[in-house]
Amino acid sequence: MNDLEQFTQEQAFLDAILAYDLRIIKDETRFWMIRTKKGYFYNEFISNDFVALAWNTITSATDFSEANQEALKDQVLLDYEEIKRPTTVINKCESFIHDVKPGDYIVIPNAGSEYITIAIAGEYYEEESKTYEIEKEIIARIEKKDVQINEVSCPYRKRRKITPLKTLKSSEIDGKLFKAISNYHGISNFDDYWRSILGVLYDTYSYQQNLNIVYHINRTSPVGPRTLSKLLWAATDCWCELVSEDNISAQVHIASPGPVDFQIVEVIPQCLDAVKILAGLTIGTISVVKPEAIPTFIKSLLTLPTEVDREYIATKRAKLQLEKETKMLPLEIEEKKLNNLEKKVSILERLKGLGVDTKKLEASATELAETFEYLKIESAEKDLPEALTDNETVSDELIEEDIAEEETVN
């Protein structure tokens, strides 16, 4: 690599740090799972950007008030003779219509939950052409196995727009989330699984006063314990520059590939600027610079001589301008070098202003970056839609009767 290429890469590295921002998930955001009728409607949902729920006789015009509950139960039992627990159906319809909000996250499994898609919920709407009679006919054909997947379209009236974010193999999610997905309810609240859901989408995010930094290991061959330990130690040491270790926890997905998820609790707003710089330094550059180059760039940044400050750069820049004018030289490399020095000074000023010991940080951040190439750490956000790179709990104990009744229609 020649000098010009070196400084160009370093510029990309520094720009990534300065531009790095945290994804702030609103505190009111909720998480859901919506099934696809044994996978029959999965491809249609993802391709056409919507999800839907059964029981077409219940709509947004339905009166869900307590005074109308008995009449509503009678209606469900009359319209859907296979239902034994009408309250369950009513509650799920009400959740789909009123509780799911635009901006919520939805987990959508395919047949057998071999794949799942995570999407952002949009506005609720109804497809009026999907009548009760069409629903009953198509669901009956599916139950009798008269049709194959993709041979019928979804007959459900109640729908929500979605923006699919990412599709993953079930092996790429943690066991807790996979176990929850195995339930057969048409719609389920997944608020307890927010960390598992957000952790496969993002590298850094803040949700309900928690800050999570996720290192996504993509090495497919066995991971050496020393390198994994090095990542855990070095990352902890980095983040201890900002908060006490008592406020940090780590969650490791044992399988490889898989995430190493650091969580910092009780994050205060004053800490967020330092977090942006530190996260940018230790995870935000992997999508723009080759992993093997990051340790060198970190060392060059954090060991910048103390005499290099804004006054030093201004003097150098004036001298460079004079040489260009008198000698008629392009001096492209020198210009890039000065520009990079200015960015380094800006980053160091922000870190020092926030009380970060850059000498201590240099050792741990370099150690951390040295694991990136071996572990094949990649950004989880590289494939997310560009427009979104800005921003009652499922029980593990399921009642078999509940499963059987809902599976017949959803």
Mean pLDDT of 38-44: 94
Give the dihedral sign, CA 80/84/86/92: negative
> Within 13 A of 100's CA, how many CA atoms are on the CB side?
34
Strands 23-25 and 31-34 come out as unpaired
Distance of CA 54 to the CA centre of its chain: 28
Q: What is the pLDDT of residue 267?
A: 62
Q: Which residues pair with 105 in a beta bridge?
A: 31, 120
| pLDDT tens per residue, range 231-260 | 999 999 999 888 889 889 888 876 678 889
Question: Would the pTM count as exceeding 0.85?
Answer: yes
**Token representation of residue 284:** 């935000």
Output the CA torsion 228→231→233→235 (10° steps): -150
Instruction: Check whether 335 has a pLDDT greater than 70.
Output: yes
- Bridge partners of 169, per DSSP, are 115
67-80 pLDDT, tens per residue? 999 999 999 999 99
pLDDT digits (tens, 9 = 90+) for 305-333: 989 889 989 888 888 877 776 765 556 77
Reported residue count of the chain is: 410
Residue-level pLDDT at 265: 82
Higher pLDDT, 366 or 267: 366
Map out the domains of the chain as residue ranges.
3-25+203-381, 35-200+389-407
Q: Is residue 160 pLDDT above 90, yes or no?
A: yes
Sequential DSSP letters for 155-186: --SEEEEEEEEEEEEGGGS-HHHHHHHTS--S
* Residue 224 per-residue DSSP state: P
Residue 203, classified by CB atoms within 10 Å of its CB into exposed (0-12), middle (13-18) or buried (19+), is: buried
Q: Inform me whether the pLDDT recorded for 93 exceeds 90.
A: yes
Tally the C-alpha atoms within 13 A of residue 129's C-alpha that lie toward its C-beta: 2
- CA-CA distance, 136 to 155, in Å (whole number)? 8
Higher pLDDT, 342 or 327: 342
Inform me whether the pLDDT recorded for 151 exceeds 70. yes
Give the model confidence (pLDDT) of 43-65 as tens digits. 999 999 999 999 999 999 999 99
Residue 192 has, within 13 A of its CA and on its CB side, a CA count of: 13
Q: Which residues pair with 213 in a beta bridge?
A: 204, 262
What pLDDT does residue 393 have? 28
From 26-35, 45-54, 144-153, the region with the lowest mean pLDDT? 144-153
Q: Which of 199, 222, 187, 218 is nearest to 90 (CA)?
A: 187
3-state secondary structure of 117: strand
Q: What is the mean pLDDT of residues 189-218?
A: 92
